[in-house]
Amino acid sequence: MNNKTTVLIVEDEHAIRNFMSTILTSNGYRVIVATGGAEAISLIGSHCPDVILLDLGLPDIEGTEVLKSVREWSSIPVIVVSARTFEREKVEALDMGADDYITKPFGSSELLARIRTALRHSHKILTKDMGGKNEFVTGDLVIDFANRRVKVAEKEVHLTQIEYKILVLFARYVGRVLTYDFIINEIWGIPSEKNSQQLLRVNMANIRRKIEENPGNPKYILTEVGVGYRMADLEN
């Protein structure tokens, strides 16, 4: 797969962390790991995972605090993976915005099934925003949401996870000017500071280098000087 689905495992127990990582890697997922809550929040902002597997009993801060932080800016699917079995704790996590709750111990089939369900739900939200379409086309640029592939003039383009998310964001709002702050908050969920805008500019330069015939004179993603960017709505 060109753009592998990224799963962030937030788990301080070595054996469980390795068990989940091995299962996911062998099933074609890209895995990143965090052993504490603060590290998880940092990785979520920098890597923009597609799914988060979140333990509640972390060594530094409670998993619920991580969940609360994520839900302040993002709808990334969060599956709580915890040994806590009290119904009130499950309800609390779900009420705070968790998409699902798995109780330890669990099997590999259950874990994979829960992830697939969370991804389907996330994909439906995306395609609903796109008018229910599984594909976006402008000019020779095609984004295949179902398979997470991007092509320009029938040639596949290899994007990083964040580059892909930025491109999808532009596709959702094709023809509209997106401000720097809006893009940064949607993709990273961090304040629009000087270094944040620099991060965005670097990613935009890389995207243009990959999808534009002439990056210096782009036709797909246009710059609105001092404001932001806009995806051109071209005839096909």
Provide φ and ψ at 205, rounded to 5°.
Answer: -60, -40
What is the predicted pLDDT for the residue at 191?
Answer: 55
User: Average pLDDT over the chain, rounded to whole?
Assistant: 88
Residue with tokens 């991060």: 199
The H-assigned helical ranges of 48-193 are 63-71, 87-95, 108-129, 161-172, 180-187
Least confident range of 24-38, 96-110, 125-139: 125-139
Secondary structure element (H or E) that encloses residue 206, with its range: helix 194-211
* Domains detected in the chain: 6-128 (3.40.50.2300), 135-231 (1.10.10.10)
The SS3 of residue 30 is strand
Q: 155: burial class by Cβ within 10 Å (0-12, 13-18, 19+)? A: exposed
Angle separating helix axes 108-129 and 161-172, nearest 10 degrees: 40
Question: What share of the chain in percent tops pLDDT 90?
Answer: 55
Mean pLDDT of 20-32: 96
Which tokens hold the place of 4?
């592998």
pLDDT tier for residue 194 given thresholds of 50, 70 and 90: low
pLDDT tier for residue 4 given thresholds of 50, 70 and 90: confident
Rounded Cα–Cα distance for residues 116 and 111 (Å)? 9
**47-56 pLDDT tens trace:** 889 999 999 9
Give the closest residue to 65 by CA, choosing from 104, 30, 92.
92
| DSSP per-residue letters across 61-85 | S-HHHHHHHHHTT----EEEEES--
> What single letter denotes the amino acid at residue 113?
A
**111-160 pLDDT tens trace:** 999 999 888 877 666 665 566 678 899 999 999 988 889 999 999 999 98
Which tokens hold the place of 73?
């800016």
- The DSSP secondary-structure symbol of 27 reads T
Give the closest residue to 212 by CA, choosing from 228, 229, 199.
229
Rounded Cα–Cα distance for residues 193 and 75 (Å)? 22
What is the predicted pLDDT for the residue at 24?
Answer: 97
3-state helix, strand, coil in the chain (%, to 5): 45, 20, 35
User: Is residue 206's pLDDT more than 80?
Assistant: yes
The structure's pTM equals: 0.69
The SS3 of residue 4 is coil
User: Is residue 7's pLDDT more than 60?
Assistant: yes
What is the predicted pLDDT for the residue at 125?
Answer: 62
Provide φ and ψ at 81, rounded to 5°.
Answer: -120, 105
Mean pLDDT of 84-111: 87
Which tokens hold the place of 31?
């895995």
pLDDT tier for residue 95 given thresholds of 50, 70 and 90: confident
- Answer with the residue of higher pLDDT: 82 or 84: 82
Rounded Cα–Cα distance for residues 102 and 79 (Å)? 7
pLDDT tier for residue 223 given thresholds of 50, 70 and 90: very high
Mean pLDDT of 184-188: 83
- Answer with the residue of higher pLDDT: 235 or 182: 182
Rounded Cα–Cα distance for residues 204 and 167 (Å)? 9
